[in-house]
Amino acid sequence: MLLMPRKLACKLRTDTKCSKSLYNAFHCMTNTVIFATMTEDVVFSGKGLTVSVDERVMRTWKDSRQIQPDAAESFGILIGSCKNTGNACRVEHITTPGQCDVQSRFHFLLHDPEHQEAANRAFSQSAGFLGYLGTWHTHPEAHPTPSKLDANDWLLCIKRNPDRLLYFVIVGTEEVRVFVRQGEKFEML
């Protein structure tokens, strides 16, 4: 399934200091994108869907957990591929917070243009095989559940990407959970 690049709607702003000068734009390109090769995947399944996550992405999520009492939320976008049926996807790359993003203990904003650039690069370098699959972020709780703010943000992501099923990952201190929109609510796989 070819995944066309889309503009990210998830708390991404283009009117930040990052986009106002070449100097700042250059310094905003500091996000880490995890590029995967053949490794052992972690699989999440349920609701008739399967999401495989590259082991290196899982390692980044493990390292990003909000275990310390002052740890800020980490976040980024999911980049990967889906089978033609759309019910099986693989997360191969992620972005992580960049210099121009905003982070606090219970809040984040995707301000850094590198998130969108990473999705665009993955799409073009893979001849359309890789694309934007959703977002991820951390919660300082063992078994994370989406907040009202999370659900509202996810609805904006879905509205901006009506051509695909999006996945939303919350990384807790002990568990990683994957959510999808089914009917009128978000369900955990």
Q: What are the residue numbers of the active site?
A: 73
Strand stretches in the chain, DSSP E: 42-46, 49-53, 75-82, 88-94, 102-104, 107-109, 131-138, 167-171, 176-182, 185-188
HSE, side-chain direction, 13 A CA sphere, residue 78: 27
- The alpha carbon of residue 185 and the mean position of all alpha carbons in its chain are separated, in whole angstroms, by 19
Nearest to 171 by CA among 94, 116, 114: 94
Show the tokens assigned to 71. Answer: 């740890």
